[in-house]
Structure 1
Amino acid sequence: MRALIDGTEIEFYVLNHSGLEEFLSALAAKFKVVIFTAALREYAELVLDKLDQDNQYVSHRLYWDSCHPVDERLVKDLSETGRKLDQVVILDNNPKSFSKQPETGRPSNNWNR
């Protein structure tokens, strides 16, 4: 895949982890799945379009431009999503990302290879 980011064309690849579609399907059957990433929209949209080709699993997407800089790091402020925070869980490999609402956060493993 190719994306134009800040005037530079980059090439990248998206590989689905085995079981990803089944996992997303099971989540979407019981929950509203929202992806909130600190990645740039131009890149993240292409990745999410590849992972959820028919838009059947992810109901809403938030990107880097929805994050807030706090002490030189990006924080995801869930209060701005319009959802009841007692019904929200955020999974993130960086616990600082959900520092505004730590009670909603669950740290996950880093997915980079």
Structure 2
Amino acid sequence: MTDASSSADESDSTLTSNLLSIPSSPSNNSLHPPTKSRNIKPNTKRINKGPIQPTSEPKPTVLGSTRNKTLVLDLDETLIHSTSGGASGSAVHAGLKVRVVEVVLDGRIVVYHVYKRPWVDFFLKTVSSWYTVVIFTASMREYADPVIDWLDQGRGIIDGRLFRESCTNIKGSYMKDLTIVERDLSKVCLVDNSPISYGLHQANGIPIEGWLNDPSDEGLLDLLPMLDSLRFTKDVRRILGLRGFSNQVLIKNQSSNLSHQISIKKNS
């Protein structure tokens, strides 16, 4: 049996070919309900700024190694889709798993019907045996918390969660600073349907087509071969950086502008 160290070098060529199966033109129109900003304290009970600490003993992989990398997942249009306004959407989402989430905004109740992306339960169960799994969403805590609980189903497969207040907001665009999750960027990657989200760490981003209602969607399944191999590479950026995203220039410009603005703030 090959050990994990040898597998790290041998899997790079396999991983490079697996990258070809990932959608190269992810949707830019990620929705983050609800849209009203709130002054919310960081969720220190679930996650602290700094490296994620697993809440349970690491799960062994089939090759005997432990989970030594972190997989960060977006929520809306990546794992689930939600609708509001009182319509259940049953005609559009027939056969999909649904949960009703009530959020209180300005004293009134807003009802969201939340639908699971096909294969999300299988996907989460699988990747949780390979990675420390963290959900990082630009949605508000009141909405996202019960949705994440629904996805976890008490299985303890989601190790951490971050919400809108942990995002970096630049001119209305929510970017996700992965160093909040893992300081060593060689060990963390982000799956998100919005390329802007990983604008700060382009070489750590994994695109996925945004999902709304297609019951035959297999976007999450398509990622599994690549994620299976990626966990054994020494530096995820070595592999992910090889892929030329169609929005590479946009992300580079956004990242450059953001870094400049952060530098100004630090020096002021």
Structure-1-length-normalised TM-score: 0.89
Alignment of structure 1 residues 1-113 onto 2, 5 Å: 1-113=101-213
Q: Which moved more, 1:34-43 or 1:52-61?
A: 52-61
Q: Deviations over 1:27-70 (max 9, x none)?
A: 00111110000011100001111111204211000010100112
Query: Hey, what's the Cα distance between the residues in 2 that align with 1:17 and 1:98?
Result: 21
Q: Which moved more, 1:71-80 or 1:57-66?
A: 71-80
Query: Hey, what's the Cα distance between the residues in 2 that align with 1:32 and 1:95?
Result: 22
Using the aligned pairs only, state the percent identity: 33
Change (3 A) 1:6 1:55: farther
The one-letter amino acid of 2:117's match is: H
Give the Å deviation of 1:7: 3.2
Instruction: Structure 2: state its 5+ residue gaps.
Output: 1-100, 214-268
Change (3 A) 1:81 1:64: same
Change (3 A) 1:35 1:72: same
Q: What residue in structure 1 maps to residue 225 of structure 2?
A: none
Could you say which structure has the larger radius of gyration? 2
- Secondary structure at the residue paired with 2:209? coil
Change (3 A) 1:72 1:13: closer
- Secondary structure at the residue paired with 1:79? helix
Q: Which has the higher contact order (CA 8 A, sep 6+)?
A: 2
Query: Hey, what's the Cα distance between the residues in 1 that align with 2:185 and 2:114?
Result: 31
Give the Å deviation of 1:15: 2.8
Give the Å deviation of 1:5: 3.1
Query: Hey, what's the Cα distance between the residues in 1 that align with 2:117 and 2:196?
Result: 25
Structure 1 segments, 4+ long, off by >6 Å, are: none
Higher strand share: 1
Instruction: Structure 1: state its 5+ residue gaps.
Output: none
Count of residue pairs the alignment pairs up: 113
Query: Hey, what's the Cα distance between the residues in 2 that align with 1:60 and 1:34?
Result: 5
Structure-2-length-normalised TM-score: 0.40
Query: Hey, what's the Cα distance between the residues in 2 that align with 1:21 and 1:11?
Result: 23
Give the Å deviation of 1:20: 1.9
